[in-house]
Amino acid sequence: MIEFFQAIADPAVVATVLRVMTPLLLAALGVLISDRAGVLNIGMEGIMLSGALIGVLVSAATANPFLGLFAALIGGGMLGALMALFINGLGTQFIITGIALNMAALAATTLGLFLATGDKGMSGALQSGVLPNIDIPLLGGIPVLGPLLSGHHMLTYVAILAVPTVAIMLARTPFGLHIRAVGSDPKAAAAAGVSRNRVQFHALTLSGVFGGAAGAYLSMGYVSWFAQNMTAGRGFIALAAEVMGMGTAWGTFAAAAVLGIAETVAITMQTKGLPNELMQMIPYIVPAVMLTVYAARRQAKARSNS
Amino acid sequence: MTRSILAGLTEFALTALVIVLVILAVLVPVALSQPDPFEVLRLFVLGPFGTIRHMGNILEAATPAMMTGLAATIIFRAGMFNLGVEGSFFLGGLAAAATAVLLPLTGFVATPAAILVGALVGSLACIVPGYLRVRFGASEMVNSLVLNFAFLFAGVYFLNYVLRDPNAGALMSYKLPADFTLDRLLQGTRLHTGVIIAFVACILGGIWLYGTRSGLNVRIVGSSPGFASHLGLASSKLLMQAQVAGGLIAGMAGAIEVLGLYSRFSWTALPGLGWTGITVAILARENPFLVIPAALFLAYLQVGGDMLARNLDVPSEIVGLVTAAILLAVTAAAIFRHPAFLRLIRDIKGQERGA
Amino acid sequence: MAEGPIVSFRQVGKTYPNGTVALTDASFDIRRGSIHAICGENGAGKSTLMKILFGLESPSAGQVFIDGAAADTATPDFAGKHGIGMVHQHFSLVPILTVTENIILGHEPRSSIFIDRTKARRQVVELSERFDLAVDPDARTDTLSVAAQQKVEILKALSRDTRLLILDEPTAVLSPPEIEELFNRLRDLRAAGMTILFISHKLHEVRALAETVTVLRAGKVVGTTPLAEVDDAEITRMVMGRDVDVPRRQRQTTSAPVVLELAKVSTRSHDPADRIEDISLSIRADEIVGIAGVDGSGQRGLVSVLSGLMHPASGSIRLSGADMSRAAAPAWRKAGLAYLPADRYAQGGTASLSLADNAIAGTDGDKALQWGPFLRRGAIRQRVQQMIADYAVRAGGTGERLDSLSGGNAQKLIAARELAGSPKLLIADQPTRGVDVAAAALLHGRIDQAARNGAAVLLITADLDELLRLADRVLVLFNGRIVADLANHAGLTPAALGPYMLGLEKAS
């Protein structure tokens, strides 16, 4: 047990947890915003994948990873907006819209990669940049805590700062209030003059921006390449994380942290010689188990109430 | 009666028109980027009908699409958004390969046994999320999405540690014994007897859904839970029946795909044919009989895409874009629930009743 | 500020695109600073009138004048521009938001990008003090009692410079002391210069509160009159209409055995429509018992305990002597229940499946229709065509979708299914609502026939003509209790039922 806690406090372990948690957290916050507005973003997987490719392409073209990140954010936002246009403009169901976006993104990113590099698998031929880690000057100097808090990836800090930001946005701003109202009861919101279409458009756009950031992190966070289908279901795990987080930013943070720890355990165990594939299952089984336990408890509670 | 048929044809015509427009919307920009735009369109549209061999390719590609489409249809008909078909397809293929490699079966029982094991094991990926929904109320959609990957890695583990041929170089299984293959039907293609199974399955699925009591009850539960409880139907049991049936078919689809096309099992990622099945099911308006033409149509697009890839510098992924766009277009309420269109359909039908 | 009426309706009519005429030639004035009541039965056109006045729908004929000027109705900002607030019968509050959030929703006070929460809270507290409507500004709305939610709804309606407040059946969900308090607040509002439009079924409430009443019947204004100048009998007559007698059903025998027996049955529920208290009744074979009462008086609760969808909290239910108090839906059906639900498409059938599917649903195990697990297509087609012919269902074919039929034809098909075999107990809940005259006559004949064949029939209907035509005995429900048990003889008229339904009288 003591060994376990020592392992947990190890700066290297903390760094790994944060590293694997970052894209999940960004994507899950994006899913959260869409879900609170009543249009769960199933297309997160596809938006992340698109963001990852756009980031690499723009970064390679401009030799500037920040421009790549910026383009990924814009691209993600545009895909989210496109979903909203389909859902509220053409009347497609949001689940099918998300599935279609995922299919289209997988095809389009492979296509885009091929057009840019002549290769369908990897973008190795492109000279793409890496977004930097940030050393926090004073914090880094503190013993014990310093190495835990400083020196992580810039998007890791962004993701963690996004948690209170999203929480405050939802709780304290007119936009957040409108999101909660539309997601909970669109008719009542409409009676108060709050338009569902407009709010869901903005919410999905913002959700897409988060997805773009999560995707950019995958292709420009620690590596400098894009690979076909490199999200590998992380968008779906983010979906599960959001559901586990019970619709709050802090809950989503906790769920993403649990999943990050699960993945870290999986990675650590792999290095200890346990079968790679079984460990890779962990981040997918944990959300299913937690989701089910949560649902079972809610059901039991509902029964005892009636 | 004739007017009902006319109304159906009108609806079909609108669907066809929308699909043609969508294909053109994706394809024309691509064609214009090529030196000979008309050749692109010609190859894509007419190419698949060019030779018997290419038409065989359509049937070959339609085989898994029909079966996963049927599986998704049955699951959706019960009102569940269980996306486990993808995982079932993968597991089914793996389990069939495992049966072939590990069990000392020979002769005419070998292939059916492998398909059966594939169906049984594969069905798990649909049953688990379905059960968690019926028993605990956990979202079958989110659970199936993540569990698909859990089943994938469990399968890859099994492949790596049990089935792997150390002499094969890459990660793949031992060779599947010759008794465990489906016979080829057409020289020069990989078309195999699985296509017959797929056709028969869709027809049987249609007969079950429309021609049996339990099929009717599943449709009632799926379309109106309130009516089902008014009738006192055992809703949970019916829901699970549909998940099991869908899972078995999807698992069988994977088994047939592996036994029919490959000499070794080598999937290390989800093959994506479950998603094709979902598209087929939605395109077929969740009717098992219509699954056949819907799957053939998507297969035709796939072969058209392959021909572009082979003959011109256009990657076949263009088909993924076309499929996604079609999926959105045919579910757009703004088109198919448009008041003007509904009125047209009502008018066509209405005159019959007035007469 | 202009003198004269605040609102004038002039020849206002509304015909919906599907041909339903909801309102014809409605003309009356609402006096500034008064409490004006609108009375009428379900479907008399009250809610259409309110939707027009609130700017949700535009009239298809006539004009609405506000402050003497012709108003452009059905524009998005109509209500806001004219200072009209509305409290709907079904609240339009977002359940997960706090009281303050609900009240400020759509016009939030801001400081930079944030909601100015101090200011918002102060606004709510001020509003609440000014109108003497005490609410906790920080409570989550779904934790509040219905009465408190209504206060929030009223405050929300008042939060935007409102001068005309519409209340749609505001007392339906309240207990008597809460009603008294609401009325005091409304009188205060009037004293402060507010004009109030009060829609109600309940005559004593109208009399207690309003000074003028407009009565609607079948989409027409029957009259607008100061309450001081009419007595209750006169208003009841205006609401219920002509005392035309209807032909009544003749029972073959009055001594058939008792089939259904309820003894002191009560349910517990937050929703008054599901709440019944101390109901005792018995129905014999060949007897039709009609339930009258305004919507939401407990009818839904009564039907739910008699079909296994809800279990009574106390009391006992026996069907042909067998205890059914705890029986679930399948057991009720097995015991011989046939049930025509009020909601045809959510419970009575499934809209997206075919007529044949709908007609044979629930006949599991019928050897004539089934061969092992397989359905006999030919036999089914024959059976369904027979049903279609017997019940004169106008349909293209057995393969058409249920929702392709008109309401009357769909209901006839559902009745054909439910009445097949010989049910012991038939519950008919609004069997002819929205159904054309010919279909209604056919359905009436079949219900009568079912009783003659030995069924005990419970008929729940808002259509009093139908009630008097069919029922042998009429029970009136009010607030979940039976307030009258009347034999249906030639002298019984809608006007005679009115006082019980409106809660003015109680027979023991």
Which one, of C504, C508, C502, C506, lies nearest residue C200 by Cα?
C502
What pLDDT is attached to residue A306? Answer: 53
pTM of the model: 0.85
| CATH of segment(s) C244-336+423-508 | 3.40.50.300
- Interchain contact B244–C (C-beta under 8 A): no
- Interchain contact C94–A (C-beta under 8 A): yes
What pLDDT is attached to residue B185? Answer: 76
A212: pLDDT strictly greater than 90:
yes
Based on C-alpha coordinates, what's the Rg of chain A? 20
Determine whether the interchain pair A91/B150 forms a contact, defined as Cβ–Cβ distance below 8 Å. no
B84: pLDDT strictly greater than 90:
yes
Nearest to B146 among A89, A99, A240 (CB): A240
At residue A5 the predicted structure's pLDDT band, cuts being 50, 70 and 90, is low
- Interchain contact A184–C (C-beta under 8 A): yes
C244: pLDDT strictly greater than 60:
no
Determine whether the interchain pair C105/A185 forms a contact, defined as Cβ–Cβ distance below 8 Å. no
Determine whether the interchain pair B146/A288 forms a contact, defined as Cβ–Cβ distance below 8 Å. yes
CA distance A119 to A113: 7
Q: Residue A175 region, left (φ>0) first, then alpha (ψ -120 to 50), else beta?
A: alpha
Best of B224, B236, B287 to substitute, by most chain C Cβ atoms within 10 angstroms, is: B224
CB-CB neighbors (< 8 A) of B227 in chain C: 346-350, 361
At residue B56 the predicted structure's pLDDT band, cuts being 50, 70 and 90, is confident
Joined together, the tokens standing for residue C234 give 């006169």
What pLDDT is attached to residue C168? Answer: 87
Which one, of B128, B68, B73, B79, lies nearest residue B238 by Cα?
B79
CB-CB neighbors (< 8 A) of C95 in chain A: 184-185
Per the domain annotation, does A257 fall within a domain?
A: no
Which one, of A175, A217, A194, A289, lies nearest residue A28 by Cα?
A217
How far is CA C402 from its chain centroid? 24
Lowest mean pLDDT across A187-191, A270-274, B17-21: A270-274
- Interchain contact C90–A (C-beta under 8 A): no
Residues 6+ apart with CB under 8 A from A147: A11, A140
Q: How far is B150 from chain A (nearest CA, A)?
A: 5
Q: What does the pLDDT average to over A56-76?
A: 93
| Cβ–Cβ under 8 Å, residues A228 and A121 | yes
CA distance B209 to B173: 37
Q: What does the pLDDT average to over C424-447?
A: 87
At residue B164 the predicted structure's pLDDT band, cuts being 50, 70 and 90, is confident
Helix, strand, or coil (residue B201): helix
CA distance A151 to A146: 9
Determine whether the interchain pair C373/B212 forms a contact, defined as Cβ–Cβ distance below 8 Å. yes
At residue A132 the predicted structure's pLDDT band, cuts being 50, 70 and 90, is confident
Lowest mean pLDDT across A88-97, B97-106, C66-75: C66-75
What pLDDT is attached to residue C236? Answer: 78
Joined together, the tokens standing for residue B165 give 């041929």
Per the domain annotation, does A289 fall within a domain?
A: no
CB-CB neighbors (< 8 A) of A177 in chain C: 97, 101, 105, 108, 115
Best of A177, A178, A185 to substitute, by most chain C Cβ atoms within 10 angstroms, is: A177
Tens of pLDDT along C19-31? Answer: 677 888 889 999 9
At residue C57 the predicted structure's pLDDT band, cuts being 50, 70 and 90, is confident
Under CATH, to which class is C7-240 assigned? alpha beta
Q: What does the pLDDT average to over B205-209?
A: 94
Mean pLDDT of chain A: 88
What pLDDT is attached to residue B236? Answer: 92
CB-CB neighbors (< 8 A) of B84 in chain A: none
What pLDDT is attached to residue C1? Answer: 47
B354: pLDDT strictly greater than 50:
no
Which one, of C382, C373, C444, C379, lies nearest residue C415 by Cα?
C444
At residue B355 the predicted structure's pLDDT band, cuts being 50, 70 and 90, is very low
Q: What does the pLDDT average to over A191-218?
A: 94
Sequence ranges of chain C with CATH classification 3.40.50.300: 7-240, 244-336+423-508
Q: What does the pLDDT average to over C338-350?
A: 88
Share of chain A above pLDDT 70, in %: 92
Q: What does the pLDDT average to over B172-176?
A: 86
Cβ atoms within 10 Å, residue A103: 24
Lowest mean pLDDT across A147-151, C73-77, C244-248, C469-473: C244-248
At residue A145 the predicted structure's pLDDT band, cuts being 50, 70 and 90, is low
Q: What does the pLDDT average to over C155-161?
A: 87
Best of C94, C119, C152 to substitute, by most chain A Cβ atoms within 10 angstroms, is: C94
What pLDDT is attached to residue A51? Answer: 96
- Is domain B52-312 classified as CATH 1.10.3470? yes
Lowest mean pLDDT across A57-66, A163-172, C121-130, C498-507: C498-507
Joined together, the tokens standing for residue C371 give 């061969």
Chain B to chain C Cβ contacts (< 8 Å): 80
A213: pLDDT strictly greater than 90:
yes
A94: pLDDT strictly greater than 80:
yes
CA distance C291 to C451: 16
Determine whether the interchain pair A173/C105 forms a contact, defined as Cβ–Cβ distance below 8 Å. no
Cβ atoms within 10 Å, residue C70: 11
Q: What does the pLDDT average to over B57-67?
A: 93
Give the domain extent around A133: 2-232
Contact partners for chain A, using 3 or more CB pairs closer than 8 A, are B, C
Give me the residue spans of the domains in chain B: 1-34+317-355, 52-312
What pLDDT is attached to residue A140? Answer: 64
